Chains A and B, each alone.
Chain A
């Protein structure tokens, strides 16, 4: 399978800050990859290097088999910083970017109107960009990345500032582009969106890659390592009983009266359920499925509980 993006030991430093530190990545054509990381992790810098907007200090970078500079017309890019010419009319702006991307002027206006209707912005072609709301401006900018039907679509925070309806619309457009065969990589802080959309996630922190896995592999790796119990009695008493019973490596009570238990190594799901029932009276016992957000927080900044600061917790 040919690769859409290939990074080998790519690094970039700004003064004393190591923005990207020997990041490697191979992204197959047609895949949809979520690019995750906390603020300042180096996502935008990596994306800008992929786009050849800035050059890496070291490492090898190939996009669509060559340099992004040579393949700019085959790439659609939505930068993190949203920007439009404030006084320019929407249709004029889209036509300008499309022409720069190599779209033939014949039938361009028709194509612009079609796209505007698809994102539920009919009749804004004649409006000046400054007259649009923030969400509308964002959709116009997304169109400027899509209109030339790119083979590679790079979206930096495509959901920021969008209401749920528009987020759903963007999701639908992204899925449609993937069905068309485009390779898509997008950065986001919305874990549930990445979880629902991506078949692969890449997580970087402090410039280093800390996770690069298919979502299915990730679930298999992390699922079943915890249970959630709703005790019939006092949650704190149940928490201590569970730790004393020996099947829990870590337990914590939540504000909702639940006890989240992290299982010791070697304890299977069925054994854990039986041990939980034996530790005290329970209303419900269920296996905990780790969300992408949990993985993110664990890999980037310690345990979920430490960050959330919810309830009490105890370790064995």
Chain B
């Protein structure tokens, strides 16, 4: 028996040594303050801020206090606008939206009754301001004791008036108004709040429009009924027979959610692999490690350790997303098949990207050198993000089908396609992509391991892609 055996050293199995390396890799990535703050605290804070914004908007809505002067030769527009402002007040920034968009927002608001934060945010953005206005209305400027237009403008300039509105008589006559002529002017001081400008401006626009309608002899109520844009109320019937309000936009977001979740989890860990490999090489600790483990054990240990980090991120963000969907009664949009396929494509994506990054990390001496090799990989990774919208809209189109078979972006594309529920992906394509994808993944693992084995001991100028390939076949 050797002396080393007597003193407590034991022969370690391949997996045992790999596990030790994995644990260090995981511990020094995930159990650090940087990871805790960067991957957990900051995203949580961002979500918290989203819930806090409505409260802040509500409190910061400034009161509208001051005097508004109006030159209104019609004698009707000013009165209607004054009535609108004092009775209906501000309709919020979404008041500018076309009626169909407002109806959609209202639909989203009512579709999320269980999420007080989101619903509250829409309510708060739509909040009214406190109104305390004094009105000075003149039929014509400079006559019957009324100040001149210039005098009124001076009052605006000095801040005595918060707004001066000038309505033209012709502007209120629908038949006399040229197309494109507004018939309405508004002057405000430089200190005017955009919110207040919008409130007063819109009230006068609506009043002028009503005056034009009246000039045509149409009843206001009839006009309002015509103007009320019909919006289809869509209900989704789940396989269990439950009905829930359908929001098409939200359904497009689900495939994107799957893809981005996979992308962020994979890329975060792969990037960590790149930096930790470069660190080990530049710190010259690589040779110490290679004296204790084979290059394959080192490579496997690093990849498995970071895989654990990736899974933690996936569970954390994915769990939050599923909780959000459940709260919005939309969990039926995710099927167990989606989750199984997501898992299979995630494994494929992780090992492909991780292998690429660790091979690059082993070939260079510092991060600056890595940029020239990481650039092409990043372009390949950005392609799925660029193709998100066209593929979500047409998951079985030619672009989507071709992109589903091009590694290393293929797992991201496939998860977009299979979770876009409007068109099921043909089964043969799913099976073919899994077989081809896993084959490509093992090929990349082999290539990456060969490059890693040579690269970790190389110093000097970074290799060209051709030299990298040459390394793969060095004995």
Residues in A lying within 8 Å of B, measured CB to CB: 48, 51-55, 57, 69, 72-75, 77, 79, 81-88, 96-97, 99-104, 107, 111, 141, 144-145, 148-151, 180-182
Select one of A48, A57, A74, A182 contacting B475, CB under 8 A: A57
Q: In the complex, what distance in Å separates the CA atom of A71 from the CA atom of B437?
A: 37
Q: Which residues of A contact B7 (CB under 8 A)?
A: 148-149
Instruction: Find out whether the CB atom of B284 lies under 8 angstroms from the CB atom of A150.
Output: no
Q: Which residues of B contact A103 (CB under 8 A)?
A: 8-10
Q: In the complex, what distance in Å separates the CA atom of A75 from the CA atom of B290?
A: 12
Q: Which residues of A contact B293 (CB under 8 A)?
A: 72, 100
Instruction: Find out whether the CB atom of A53 lies under 8 angstroms from the CB atom of B290.
Output: yes
Which residues between 357 and 408 of chain B lie within 8 Å of chain A, taking CB atoms? none
23 interchain pairs (CB within 8 A)? A48-B287, A51-B290, A74-B2, A79-B284, A79-B288, A81-B287, A83-B285, A85-B28, A85-B280, A85-B283, A87-B28, A100-B12, A100-B293, A102-B9, A102-B10, A104-B10, A111-B8, A148-B8, A149-B6, A149-B9, A150-B4, A151-B3, A181-B3
User: Contacts A73-B12, A85-B283, A149-B9; is A101 near B292 (CB within 8 Å)?
Assistant: yes
Interface of B, helix, strand, loop or mixed by DSSP: helix
Q: How far is the CB of A153 from chain B (nearest CB, A)?
A: 11
Q: In the complex, what distance in Å separates the CA atom of A103 from the CA atom of B17?
A: 11
Kindly report which residue of chain B lies nearest to residue A85, judged by CB atoms: B285
Instruction: Find out whether the CB atom of B291 lies under 8 angstroms from the CB atom of A84.
Output: no
Q: In the complex, what distance in Å separates the CA atom of A98 from the CA atom of B289?
A: 11
Given contacts A87-B28, A151-B3, 13 further A-B contacts (CB under 8 A): A48-B287, A53-B290, A83-B284, A83-B286, A85-B279, A97-B292, A100-B20, A102-B10, A103-B9, A111-B8, A148-B9, A149-B9, A181-B3
Instruction: Find out whether the CB atom of B20 lies under 8 angstroms from the CB atom of A99.
Output: yes
Residues in B lying within 8 Å of A, measured CB to CB: 2-4, 6-12, 17, 20-21, 24, 28, 279-280, 283-294, 457, 475
Q: Which residues of A contact B475 (CB under 8 A)?
A: 55, 57
Q: Which residues of B contact A182 (CB under 8 A)?
A: 3
A-B contact count (CB 8 A): 100
Instruction: Find out whether the CB atom of A100 lies under 8 angstroms from the CB atom of B21.
Output: yes
Instruction: Find out whether the CB atom of A151 lies under 8 angstroms from the CB atom of B2.
Output: yes
Q: Which residues of B contact A181 (CB under 8 A)?
A: 3
Q: In the complex, what distance in Å separates the CA atom of A266 from the CA atom of B294?
A: 56
Instruction: Find out whether the CB atom of B8 lies under 8 angstroms from the CB atom of A104.
Output: yes
Q: Which residues of A contact B284 (CB under 8 A)?
A: 79, 81-83
Q: Which residues of B contact A73 (CB under 8 A)?
A: 4, 9-12
Q: Which residues of B contact A84 (CB under 8 A)?
A: 283, 285, 288
Instruction: Find out whether the CB atom of A180 lies under 8 angstroms from the CB atom of B3.
Output: yes
Q: Which residues of B contact A75 (CB under 8 A)?
A: 291
Q: Which residues of A contact B290 (CB under 8 A)?
A: 51, 53
Kindly report which residue of chain B lies nearest to residue A52, judged by CB atoms: B294
Kindly list the 4 A-B residue pairs having the minimum CB-CB distance in the complex, ordered from nearest. Answer: A83-B284, A83-B285, A77-B291, A100-B292
Kindly report which residue of chain A lies nearest to residue B292, judged by CB atoms: A100
Q: Which residues of A contact B20 (CB under 8 A)?
A: 96, 99-100
Q: In the complex, what distance in Å separates the CA atom of A52 from the CA atom of B297?
A: 14
Q: In the complex, what distance in Å separates the CA atom of A77 from the CA atom of B290?
A: 10
Q: In the complex, what distance in Å separates the CA atom of A85 from the CA atom of B275?
A: 13
Q: In the complex, what distance in Å separates the CA atom of A152 from the CA atom of B232?
A: 81
Instruction: Find out whether the CB atom of A79 lies under 8 angstroms from the CB atom of B291.
Output: yes
Kindly report which residue of chain B lies nearest to residue A53, judged by CB atoms: B290
Q: How far is the CB of A92 from chain B (nearest CB, A)?
A: 9
Q: In the complex, what distance in Å separates the CA atom of A74 from the CA atom of B6?
A: 11
Q: Which residues of B contact A79 (CB under 8 A)?
A: 284, 287-288, 291
Q: In the complex, what distance in Å separates the CA atom of A81 from the CA atom of B287?
A: 8
Q: Which residues of A contact B9 (CB under 8 A)?
A: 73-74, 101-104, 148-149
Kindly report which residue of chain A lies nearest to residue B298, judged by CB atoms: A100
Select one of B2, B280, B291 contacting A53, CB under 8 A: B291
Instruction: Find out whether the CB atom of A83 lies under 8 angstroms from the CB atom of B283.
Output: yes
> A55, A81, A111, A181: which has the most chain B beta carbons within 10 Å?
A81
Instruction: Find out whether the CB atom of A83 lies under 8 angstroms from the CB atom of B287.
Output: yes
User: Contacts A148-B9, A149-B9; is A97 near B4 (CB within 8 Å)?
Assistant: no
Q: In the complex, what distance in Å separates the CA atom of A181 from the CA atom of B279?
A: 36
Q: Which residues of B contact A111 (CB under 8 A)?
A: 8
Q: In the complex, what distance in Å separates the CA atom of A180 from the CA atom of B4?
A: 11
Q: In the complex, what distance in Å separates the CA atom of A300 from the CA atom of B20?
A: 44
Q: How far is the CB of B16 from chain A (nearest CB, A)?
A: 9
Q: In the complex, what distance in Å separates the CA atom of A14 from the CA atom of B279?
A: 25
Q: Which residues of A contact B6 (CB under 8 A)?
A: 149
Q: Which residues of B contact A145 (CB under 8 A)?
A: 291
